[in-house]
Amino acid sequence: MAITPVQKIQLAVTKAHKKKLLEVLQNFGAFQVNDTSEDMPAQDNEDLKEYQKVGLNFANVEFAIKLLTPYAEKKGFLAGPITLSEEEIEKRAKDFEYKKVVKECNDIEEAITKAKNELSALNNEKESYTPWKKLKTNLENLEGTDTTGIALGIIKTPLLQDALKAIEGVSALTSVEKVAEEGTNTYLAIVFDKDEEKDLRKALAEFKFTEAELPLATGLLKEYLKTIDDSIKENEDTLKKEEEKLKKLAKNMDDLKVVQDYLGWQKEKLETVQKFGNTERVFIINGWIEAKKRTQLEEMLDKETKEYALAELPLEEDEKPPVVIQNSSFMSPFETLTRMYGLPKHDEMDPTPYLSVFFILFFALCLTDAGYGIVMFAATALALKFLKLGEGSKRLVKLLMYGGIVTAVIGAIFGGWFGFVAEDMPEFLTYTAESGEVMFIFQQINSVTNPLAVLIMALGLGFLQILVGTYMKLIHDYRTGDKKDAIMDTGTWAFMLTGIGFYILTAAGVIPGLGEVGKWWVILATLGLIVTQGRDKKNIIAKILSGVLSLYGLVSYMSDILSYSRLLALGLATTIIGLAVNVIVDLAGNLPYIGWLFAAVIFIGGHLFNLVINTLGSFIHSGRLQFVEFFSKFMEGGGKEFKPLSKKNKYVFIKNN
């Protein structure tokens, strides 16, 4: 129900028991090791070497999994993850020769990269040579003779005629052959007299003649292109072959995943060893332990060895222990929210149980549709029963299931049933309220015709939550901190807020006849604030001034409370979208022949959309009200998470025996 106390301890164990010790600590799972290796470094680097070795293997398996994932068979949605007991994981990981698989993966990857590089080079070559394939001379002849040279190049077709004229102008002893014309490019082979080369090139440059290079080979270009094609085919075959191999290897995916998790355990253990303090024969281990589990650890160690000593260490000044929050399994889904914000500090309260009621109520008020609530409850209940979910998703789904239940109740009170209007419903589902309005059974209030009542209720709930938050801080500070400060800092505000609440109730006539009391209560509280809030200032004027200024805090309380008006807005949004969907359904239903089909599709699709988008909105906004409006009254947050040495799994689910 709250923050679990954590103890700082020191454990000394002879090094001979290293393996057993790590095993025990990891299985124990509630001991966080602090780094003391700087004060007492290890004499040799054997452990470091071992750690690096395991780390390398871990990275290799990770690489293999990543490489093989696209080739693995897709599993059905309902199949769920691999589920094994810890012993089974260990056995499977030890039996499986992952190193062979990793090596094969490496080889295949190398071959694939090589083939792909070659392919892209070959394709480039092919692309640039193909336009010249009609060249009638052998490639070795392109070097020219003693007196003649050959220039191959590309010119823009529109410039061709002018270029030809210019070439002729330079020297009559020039032969120009048009090899091909493709798009706007014309491919030319020019044979020229070497004496005129300089002038000719100058003339050509003016027409943006781009020179092309052909391969240094013998025979016709056509034949050369054929060898390129053969190489391309060869490389493509290699790729296909290697991919086949990958598909075959991917059948080992499950084993690889088991190995990956198993290596992860080893890696974490060896990582922890790096943090141990060392003497010649003993490990000195400092760390945090859940206080109530200390005897359990001692028992576990006793079973292995007597050569250890365990003692509690005093906290250093300003040292902040890590934070563990623990709630009953009924409450634990709400931890999702607490963790979303960040853990409370070690000396603050765990807000989980307090926010739970408000969160789920606000969530329901934002949805206010009993139909949606029932659908959500059914969907999440089925998911919990038939899907294998991780710890985190399980909590979230369970939270949504609670949300579904409460939404169904609140929705019924507000008369939300898939956006239907009560007047259009069969009579046995409705009744006529005292105001003459037709309502669903169970319905007490209609938020569309009477939004003001809902607004007042929303603000009232907001006031209540903020009051609760203030009193929580008062009680917590009074118990754990300076009693005088608690009363003067928080108590005065609690008194003020209660007074205002009382005054509003009397003014609204809920508590009749005590208006005078309410008025004096508020005046007294105001004076109290003025007197207490400036008490740390030095002179009397500054004291009173900052006391009066503190009254400005009322504005922030007011804006906090007004923020709860979103409950009405989001509730209305759900209702009106539902209404809009039904109007469109009606219109579609009037179409001849297939109208009913359209209507059915729009009804289901539209309401599903509304449900999803508004569940998201309700969750976020109800959460925000907890984080921003509620938490700020009594906690800062920012506690460090307790991270014990344990067996963490990425892929495999642990089956509990």
Partner 1 sequence: MQELIADMGGPALAIAGAAVAVIFGGIGSSIGVGLAGQSGAGVVTEQPEKFGKVLVLEALPGTQGIYGFLVGFLILLVTGILTGDMKALTLAQGWQLFFACLPCGFACLLSGIHQGKVTAAGMNMVAKDDSSMGKAMVLSAMVETYAVLGFLVSALLVFFIKL
Half-sphere exposure of 568 (CA within 13 A, CB side): 23
Give CA–CA dist 62/261, Å, rounded: 10
Contact between 381 and partner 1 by CB under 8 A: the answer reads no
Contact between 616 and partner 1 by CB under 8 A: the answer reads yes
Contact between 293 and partner 1 by CB under 8 A: the answer reads no
Contact between 71 and partner 1 by CB under 8 A: the answer reads no
Contact between 608 and partner 1 by CB under 8 A: the answer reads no
Q: Report, in Å, the least distance between residue 637 CB and partner 1.
A: 11
Size of the site for partner 1 (CB under 8 A): 29
The tokens describing 500, both together, are: 């205002």
Contact between 81 and partner 1 by CB under 8 A: the answer reads no
Contact between 259 and partner 1 by CB under 8 A: the answer reads no
Contact between 454 and partner 1 by CB under 8 A: the answer reads no
Give whichever of 378 and 587 is closer to partner 1, judged by the CB atom.
Answer: 587
Q: Report, in Å, the least distance between residue 593 CB and partner 1.
A: 22
The answer to whether the CB of 229 falls within 8 A of the CB of 126 is yes
Contact between 604 and partner 1 by CB under 8 A: the answer reads no
Contact between 488 and partner 1 by CB under 8 A: the answer reads no
DSSP state of 517: H
In sign, the C-alpha dihedral spanning 237, 240, 245, 248 is: negative
Residue found under tokens 């804006």: 559
Q: Report, in Å, the least distance between residue 612 CB and partner 1.
A: 9
Give whichever of 408 and 577 is closer to partner 1, judged by the CB atom.
Answer: 577
Which span sits near partner 1 by CB under 8 A: 357-365, 488-496, 612-620, 647-655? 612-620
Of these, 55, 322, 353, 451, which contacts partner 1 (CB under 8 A)?
Answer: 451
Instruction: Convert 94-117 to b/e letters by CB count within 10 Å (16 or more is b).
Output: eebebeebbebbeebeeebeebee
The tokens describing 638, both together, are: 């920012």
Give whichever of 220 and 572 is closer to partner 1, judged by the CB atom.
Answer: 572
Give whichever of 514 and 613 is closer to partner 1, judged by the CB atom.
Answer: 613
Other beta carbons less than 10 A from residue 444's beta carbon = 12
Contact between 171 and partner 1 by CB under 8 A: the answer reads no
Give CA–CA dist 351/339, Å, rounded: 10
Give CA–CA dist 557/220, Å, rounded: 89
Contact between 624 and partner 1 by CB under 8 A: the answer reads yes
Q: Which of 645, 8, 644, 16 is nearest to 305 (CA)?
A: 16
Taking CB under 8 A as the criterion, which residues in 115-134 touch partner 1? none
Contact between 620 and partner 1 by CB under 8 A: the answer reads yes
The answer to whether the CB of 647 falls within 8 A of the CB of 78 is no
Q: Report, in Å, the least distance between residue 392 CB and partner 1.
A: 9
Contact between 617 and partner 1 by CB under 8 A: the answer reads yes
Contact between 580 and partner 1 by CB under 8 A: the answer reads yes
Give CA–CA dist 86/657, Å, rounded: 10
Give whichever of 514 and 583 is closer to partner 1, judged by the CB atom.
Answer: 583
Contact between 565 and partner 1 by CB under 8 A: the answer reads yes
User: What residue type is 405 in one-letter code?
Assistant: I
Residue found under tokens 């070659």: 118
Binding mask 341-360 for partner 1 (x = CB under 8 A): xx------------------
Q: Report, in Å, the least distance between residue 84 CB and partner 1.
A: 23
As a whole number of Å, the end-to-end CA separation of the chain is: 27
DSSP assignment of 541-601 equals HHHHHHHHHHTTHHHHHHHHHHGGGHHHHHHHHHHHHHHHHHHHHHHHHTSTTTHHHHHHH
Q: Report, in Å, the least distance between residue 630 CB and partner 1.
A: 13
Give CA–CA dist 126/325, Å, rounded: 66
The residue ranges that bind partner 1 (CB under 8 A) are 337, 339-342, 448, 451, 563, 565-566, 568-570, 572-573, 576-577, 579-580, 583, 613, 616-617, 620-621, 623-624, 627-628
